[in-house]
Structure formats: structure tokens, C-alpha cells
Amino acid sequence: MTNPLLELRRLGQSVWLDDIRRDLLTGGGLARLVEEDGLAGVTSNPSIFEKAIAGSDLYDAQIEAELAADPAMGTAALYEALVVEDIRGAADVLRPVWEATGGVDGYVSLEVSPHLARDAGATVAEARRLWDRVGRPNLMIKVPATAEGIPAIEALIADGINVNVTLIFSVAHLEAAAGAYVRGVERCATPGGVASVASLFVSRLDTAVDRELEAVGTPEALALRGRAAVANARVAYGRFRELFGTPFESLVSGGARVQRPLWASTSTKNPAYPDVKYVEELVAPDTVNTLPRATLEAFRDHGRAAVAITPESIGAARHDLEALAGLGIDLERVTGELQAAGVAAFEEAFDRLMAAIDARRRSALDAAAGR
């Protein structure tokens, strides 16, 4: 039987893994996903690292080794040492993919501190420092599409630093990210050597809009449940095609790549919906879908790979969004609130992670002193 994940690649969609853990690298799991499932990238965020580091003992040996070498190492430096080790390891596994695709795929993403989401200058400085420290050409720095993040994205692309624009929830957010990318490419000395994706979060929109539809409560409103997120993404894809069509051709002739949409937050939050809903309904050329491990395995098991975003489906998606507006649901408000909530959630996860690492650091130092 054909692997549906490999079929997605044939249809022009790249599959990335929305997860990273030390044992995935040391145990060969990531390499197997690349070889058997055509996995073409990895994304991370503060929540993922919190689960990996705070929720396991996989990092204890490195924590002890780092502190043995430098007992004065602070919590922030220890966090960075742990994360950089994972990011470099994933980048090295994916390096052959990056080389084979000419830099289209094979990336691993690392996010700047979420506490910098409202500070463009600090975001640029942190991104440049992380880029230099990781030292891998197939690294992508994740920068949120906040108002302050947009100029930072432009500056980083101009520097030739790959950027994964994160926390995109609306077509307007995607347009802003595309504008920053294009301006950055125009200023970049090596436009063919820089890559970017625009990460549009999917399932969280259905969670928020479904709540409002249920509050409206009419049959028309209830019939629209579970349709907002896919409609929003399909309309965003149509806008991507417009933005990177004819107006972008002169830059393409100079070697520049398009900024592909990346579907993020693709695990199904509502158990009433199919577990592969946000994979099957968002298949399209020149896109990326980053999947949590459980969603990836579910799609491998029973997913159906077929192009789902077409001119006809984009037209139907526009009708769905118009129907939502007719019911008084303001998507610009909802998506703005979701972006702010996303920044806050990553800040909280980052703070929990730092607290957990600090506790491990103190415990390791106490144990060493006891010995």
C-alpha cells in the first residue's frame, strides 16, 4: 500500500514534524521518518521544548556535563546549550534533504524568546546571535508576525537568515509576512540563498469560532462549525498565489524562492472532527504541513492524499467566510486575539521551561557538591 505521506510529497506538499526530543535524534527516529515517510523538516517552539526537557530525564546527562565544565553557568545559558544541541542534531539529520532539494526543504526551526515578540530590535539581535551559534545553513529562525516582528523579519531576510514567520492567523497577517519577505529579498545580496515559510495556525481558529457559532445557536450558525479554519487557510493560499505570481517573477529570475504557506496547529482539537482533518483538507502544491507525531502517524495509517485547495474550493471558502461575517463573527478580531493569546501561551511555556531547568541546575549542583 502506498504511504499517504509520500503521496503528499508527490502532490507538491512537504511534511515537517512539529516536535523535537533528544531521543528522536539519538535513537535514529528522525532519520527513519526522513527515509521512510519523506519527512522534510522539523519545527519547534517553547511548548515543545518544555515538554521535551521538563517532562523527561533525557537531558540530565548534558545538564550535569555542562555544569561540571562550568559550575557558574546560569539558567539561560544552560537552556540555550540544551536547545542548540537538539537543533544542530536535527539540522545534521536533515542536511541531505536540504542539499537534495536545493534548499527548498530540510530545515529545522528555532524560535527567538517569546518575550521579544514586541521588540523588533531585540528580536533581530537575538536571531542573529542564534543563527551564528547554531551554525547550520538549514536553520530557520522563528519570528512571530506581530507588528514588531514584521520589520525584524525584513531585516533578517535582508541579512540572508532563513525565517519561519510564526503565529499567523489571518490573511492580513500572511500579507504582512509576505511583504516583509519580499522587501527583505529585494535588499538581500544573495536572494537565492535565503528561504522562508509563513506559518498559518489552523485548528485554534475553529476552536474559537465554533464557540461563537454555538453562542449564536441558529441552525445556520451550527452548520458552519468546523469550517472556519479550513476556509481561512484556503483563502490565504489563494492570496499567496496572487502575491507570489506575476509580481514576484522578476525576483524569481534572480534566484529568489516563494515564501511557502506552512499549515501549523494541525492536530484536531475537537474529537468530533476527523483526526486528519487539517491534513486532508489542506493539500496543495508549494505548501508545508507541520504535523505533531500523533497526527503524522494517523495520516500514515488512514489518510487520503489528494489536492484539496483548488480555485473551486477557494471560492467556496470565501462564501463560508462571508456567511460567518453575516452572522456577526469578526474574523479580524478573533485572529488578532488568537495571535495575542499565542504570544502569551509561548511566554508562559518558556517561563515554565526556564523554571524547570533552573530546578535541574540547582539539583545537579547540590548533587555534585555532595559527591
Q: What CA–CA distance (Å, rounded) separates 22 from 87?
A: 10
Judge whether 98 and 39 are in contact, CB under 8 Å. Answer: no
* CA–CA gap between residue 177 and residue 240 (Å, rounded): 11
Q: Give residue 281's pLDDT.
A: 98
Whole-angstrom Cα distance, residue 62 to residue 100? 32
The answer to whether 320 and 308 have CB atoms below 8 angstroms apart is: no
C-alpha span between 219 and 217 (Å, rounded) = 7
Report the alpha-carbon distance of residue 262 to residue 109 in Å, rounded.
Answer: 12
- Cα gap 119→132, rounded to integer Å: 20
Q: Cell 504535523 identifies what position?
A: 291
Q: Are 290 and 263 in contact (CB under 8 A)?
A: yes
Fold of 4-200+255-303+336-370: TIM Barrel (3.20.20)
Distance separating alpha carbons of residues 324 and 318, to the nearest angstrom: 10
The model carries a pTM of: 0.96
Query: Reduced to 3 states, what is the DSSP secondary structure of residue 55?
Result: coil
pLDDT of 358-371, one tens digit each? Answer: 999 999 999 888 87
* pLDDT at residue number 272: 95
Torsion of CA 59, 65, 71, 75, to 10 degrees: -20
pLDDT for position 207: 97
Burial of residue 293 (CB within 10 Å: 0-12, 13-18, 19+) is middle
Give 138-166 pLDDT, tens digit per residue. Answer: 999 999 999 999 999 999 999 999 999 99
Per annotation, catalytic residue among 51, 142, 269, 277? 142
Strands 107-111 and 41-42: parallel
Q: For residues 280 and 259, what is the distance between their CA atoms, to the nearest angstrom? A: 22
Please, what's the largest Cα pairwise distance for the chain? 69
Q: What is the grid cell recorded at 21?
A: 526530543
Question: Do residues 40 and 69 lie in contact, with contact meaning Cβ atoms separated by under 8 Å?
Answer: no
The angle formed by the CA atoms of residues 275, 292 and 315, to the nearest 5 degrees, is 55
Is 142 catalytic? The answer is: yes
b/e 204-240 (16+ beta carbons within 10 angstroms → b) = bbbebbbebbeeeeeeebeebbbbbbbbbbbbbbbbb
Ranges of H-type helices in 244-330: 249-253, 277-280, 293-302, 311-326
Low-confidence ranges of the chain (pLDDT < 70): none
DSSP letters, 223-240, are HTTT-HHHHHHHHHHHHH
Q: What is the pLDDT of residue 368?
A: 85
* Confidence at residue 293, expressed as pLDDT on a 0 to 100 scale: 96
